[in-house]
Structure 1
Amino acid sequence: MKHLALSVAAISLAAFFGAPAKANDDLTYKVVRGDTLIGLADKYMLRASDYRIVQKRNRIANPHVIPVGTILKLPRTLLKFQPSTARLSSVKGQVTMTEGNNAKAVSSGQLLSEGQAVKTSGGAFASLVLEDGSRISVPSNTDLKIVRLRRYILESALDYDFQVDRGSARSKVAPLKSANDRYQVRTPRAVSAVRGTDFQTRFDYSTNRDFAEVDEGALAVGVKGGSELAVPAGSGLAVNADGSALTEALLPPLAIDGAGKLQNESSVRFALAAQKTPVRVSIAKDAGFEEQLADQIVSGADADFGNLDDGAYFFRARAISAKGLEGLPATYAFKRRLNTISGSAGSADEGWVFKWSGQGRGTIRYNFQLFRNNTDGPAFVDEAGLAAQQIILSELPDGDYYWRVGSVQFADGETNTNWTPLEKIIVASN
């Protein structure tokens, strides 16, 4: 995994009573020759008279005379801006947009603006692309509000502010170009402010805890009492209901045997082997998991996603620690080509009848094999290229036989074969 250079991030926790923290609510401006507070207010502020607020905040004696090089702090709430938008790049399932008391379904390609909120139901997913190329993935059962989505006239500084009231959001943030650019995601007791990183923020309603997991970049966490916790890449943060916080190294990526193999059975399954902790597993159409299709937490040995359309996909797994933090991802590419096959064998007056059937797209041909006594040598009967779904064999000598049938699929310029398990029949003269 390639780490972004000079990635910087900060999380400020709220006070004990849980009100959202405010992070970096000022823009800074370096005074150049000819600047006056009145002139700056006329150019950059919503109201020209607000220069007095800036004068008092920065302790400027004369608004007409400011030393060159002075760093002014300008509250964001006073500044002129242009509205920005977020585009829904991917929508799956029941996804709604709310604004005030109005809610309506959304679709891929739709633009969202400041003040609106996105809600995903169970089994639904959405991804947003921002003006600077940053992306937010919104999984199932999440409420995400767009608090701010604007570009200030001053330095064209970006201000992206999101709030997760339920569920989670994964952000892949483009490196910010200006020191005044801001990207932050709030949960009930934390504000994650980042500058070019890959991280996830979550609020678990059932445990009333906030989480942040960092794949790339770094976090500096201010906690109650003024202490600071360092959360580097590969680490996570959990904030308890009382405002206390803990950090730990994220569990390493899981090694999953056969995760990249062709999936041709009726159900898409991955063998996770014996895991000591639960695992969050996801499937998407892209490696960045912006077009996510499925997501679940598995406590057993297998992850079963049911039937999927044929295509190319990505599978991701994260082990979940005892403290609830999701570990580093293991991501695998795989192909889905439905090609099932099952068969049966029985005796009839005309001999032994072997029948089979299956499901799959494209051209299907069958390969029937029958082995006598053992399967070590060549097949006793080996018929390939069959279009029919049965074969009748008469006058088989007495003995033990093992048979199987393969479904040979030709689709999208590729060939794949799926075999039934070897089954045994005994031929004995009456």
Structure 2
Amino acid sequence: MGKLALSVATFSLAMCLCAPAKAEDTISYKVVRGDTLIGLAEKYMLRTGDYRIIQKRNRIADPRMIPVGTTLKLPRALLKFQPSTARLSSVKGQVTMIDGSTAKAASSGLLLAEGQAVKTSGGSFASLLLEDGSRISVPSNTDLKIVRLRRYILESALDYDFQVDRGSARSKVAPLKSANDRYQVRTPRAVSAVRGTDFQTRFDENTNRDFAEVDEGALAVGVKSGETLSVPAGNGLAVNADGSAITEALLPPLNIEGAGKLQNDISVRFALSDQKPAIRVNIAKDAGFEEQIAEQIVSGETADFGNLDDGNYFFRARAISANGLEGLPATYAFKRRLNSVSGTAGASDEGWVFKWSGQGRGTIRYNFQLFKGNTDGPAFVDETGLTEQQIILSELPDGDYYWRVGSVQFADGETNTNWTPLEKIIVASN
């Protein structure tokens, strides 16, 4: 993994593998035998006459005689290219594709081109798959514009440039094959250019600050004073409105006990016992979190996602520091199989009536248990395989009792049981 360089004068984040940030708008080309500037311009440039610009910038005396091995710098803006595309691989909720003054609802599989934009509303998510296999996850409340999406004729170099005007974008960048390939994401004060890494860029409208959090790689950060700040892997950076920078270690992954357990109650809930100022939590259908379905920022003890469809999911949590930087992720796989049950008990002329109701797919059978005195020993009444949703016990000796109902679900070749909490009744003769 190469180092990244960041200039906070304009808050630009750029790779230091080949060329400094100022040279990022050019492509390098090494001259081979037979090359001339006019020939190169005819083959690779939009206008043949622009060879004079290349001659001047590279200080070439004779455009027809260039020493073999000379490295030329060719401005990207002058080069021929083939348009590339970005495919919406996942869409959930209200996602809009914007093309100039035209806006339309986006759907999975839609191809996006240079100059178009994606807008997600609250509770909506999208993922983009690029030609080289790189992916961009677009969470809720984000405006993402495709500034540049092209493959140059020269060396088939890729040029991907995205702009986040609101919200955030997480990029998983495929290792670039050419030193001239470029992948960058802009925020109001940032241009983040990386190779083969997983990083997030954000702009927070409330605090008017830009953020970058990198799980892999290393950053070298240059600030206005000329000082260089080292930001190693597992660290993050925030830039204030005045251009000053804050760097700090990302908070470690949270240990969330029980996060991988089966979720069978009506609401999918996670207990967040390891409290931080706030925690960002996400649920997705895939481990890469490209098919996100829910996101929250939680400051309490519980993350409640409501009633989700049955399925296999992934839960991710990131602790947020006092400076607003999101920590390293803790990710858990869990199953969602709705199998809820609740019950009531009451006395009647026929005896004690216990009723219950349940929700869930597949075949459901119920277990009823009644314990006398305490729950340490075997049940006083233990009925299994019930299809009815009530039981009447006509004769119960005086005493204290504890009861519960279990819902046994048979679905998708699996069996799971969910019990109501133990509840107490007191039987006393009149």
Taking structure 2 as the reference length, the TM-score comes to 0.96
Q: Is the 8 A contact 1:254 1:329 kept in 2?
A: yes
Shift of 1:108: 0.1
Post-superposition Cα deviations, 1:108-166, rounded to whole Å, max 9, x if no partner, equal: 00000000010001110000000000000000000000000000001100000000000
SS in structure 2 at match of 1:216: coil
Identical aligned pairs, as a percentage? Answer: 85
- Superposed displacement of residue 273, structure 1: 1.3
* Distance apart, 1:221 and its partner CA: 2.7
The 1:7/1:71 distance shift into structure 2, 3 A limit, reads same
Task: State the SS of the aligned residue for 1:59.
Answer: coil
Paired positions, count: 421
What residue in structure 1 maps to residue 18 of structure 2? Answer: none
Tell me how far apart the structure 2 counterparts of residues 337 and 7 of structure 1 sit (CA, whole Å): 44
- Structure 2 partner of 1:122: 122
Alpha-carbon distance in 1 for matches of 2:372, 2:227: 76
Equivalent-residue separation in structure 2 for 1:221 and 1:113 (angstroms): 32
Letter of the structure 2 residue corresponding to residue 286 of structure 1: D
Give runs of aligned pairs for residues 23-102 of structure 1, distance below 5 A. 24-102=24-102
Counterpart residue number, 1:107: 107
- Separation in structure 2 between the aligned mates of residue 13 and residue 159 of structure 1, nearest angstrom: 23
Q: Distance in 1 between matches of 2:158 and 2:309?
A: 40
> Matched residue of 1:407: which SS?
strand
Q: Which amino acid aligns with 1:377?
A: G
Q: Distance in 2 between matches of 1:389 and 1:57?
A: 84
CA shift, 1:100, in A, is 1.3
**What's the offset of the Cα at 1:8?**
4.4
Q: Does 1:392 align with 2:392?
A: yes
Q: Which moved more, 1:225-234 or 1:244-253?
A: 225-234
Matches within 5 A, 1:218-297: 218-297=218-297
C-alpha deviation, 1:219, in angstroms? 2.4
Q: Does 1:318 align with 2:318?
A: yes
Amino acid across the alignment from 2:177: K
Letter of the 2:74 counterpart: L
After alignment, is 256-265 or 218-227 more displaced? 218-227
Q: Deviations over 1:42-99 (max 9, x none)?
A: 1110000010000000000000111111110000000000000000000001101111
Q: Secondary structure at the match of 1:358?
A: strand
Structure 2 partner of 1:3: none
Whole-angstrom CA distance in 1 between matches of 2:317 and 2:67 = 56
Distance 1:216 1:404 in 2: 50
Q: In the alignment, which residue of structure 2 is the partner of 1:9? A: 4
- Equivalents in 1 of 2:62, 2:274: separation in Å? 71
TM-score, normalised relative to structure 1: 0.96
**Deviation above 4 Å: which 4+ runs of structure 1?**
none
> Which residue is 2:205 aligned to?
205
- Answer whether contact 1:10 1:194 (CA < 8 A) is retained: no
The CA deviation at 1:274 is 4.9
CA distance in 1 between counterparts of 2:305 and 2:330 reads: 17
2:149 partner amino acid: L
- SS of equivalent to 2:248: strand
Cα distance in 2, alignment partners of residues 46 and 26 from structure 1: 15
Structure 1 pair 271/197, CA: closer, same or farther in 2 (3 Å)? same
Question: Which stretch shows the higher mean deviation, 226-235 or 330-339?
Answer: 226-235
**Which amino acid is the alignment partner of residue 415 of structure 2?**
T
Q: 1:22 to 1:107 in 2, by over 3 A?
A: farther
Deviation at 1:7, TM superposition (A): 4.3
Once residues 218 and 87 of structure 1 are traced to their aligned partners in structure 2, the CA distance between those partners, rounded to angstroms, is 30
Secondary structure at the counterpart of residue 64 of structure 1: coil
Change (3 A) 1:140 1:223: same
Deviation, structure 1 residue 403:
0.7
Contact 1:95/1:106, CA 8 A, preserved across alignment? yes
CA offset digits 1:172-193 (Å, max 9, x no partner): 0000000000000001111101
Which secondary structure state, in structure 1, belongs to the residue aligned with residue 54 of structure 2? Answer: helix
Where do 1:139-154 residues align within 5 Å?
139-154=139-154
The question of whether the paired residues in 1 share the 8 Å contact of 2:255 and 2:330 is answered with yes
Q: What amino acid is the match of 2:326?
A: E
* Residue identity in the other structure for 2:345: A
Provide the C-alpha distance between the structure 2 equivalents of 1:40 and 1:228, rounded to a whole number of angstroms. Answer: 39
Aligned residue runs from structure 1 range 166-205, under 5 A: 166-205=166-205
- Give 1:394 deviation, angstroms: 1.4
Q: Which amino acid aligns with 1:66?
A: I
How far the C-alpha of 1:102 sits from its partner, in A, is 1.1
> Which amino acid is 1:13 matched to?
V
Closer/same/farther in 2, CA of residues 22 and 126 from structure 1, 3 Å limit = farther
Confirm or deny: 8 A CA contact 1:127 1:137 kept in the other structure.
Answer: yes
SS in 2 for 1:314: strand
Q: Distance in 2 between matches of 1:351 and 1:214?
A: 65
* Aligned amino acid, residue 195 of structure 1: R
Q: Aligned equivalents of 2:215 and 2:424: distance in 1?
A: 51
Contact 2:41–2:47 at 8 Å: present in 1 too? yes
CA contact (8 A) 2:46 2:79 kept: yes
Distance, in Å, in 2 between the alignment partners of 1:131 and 1:12 is 29
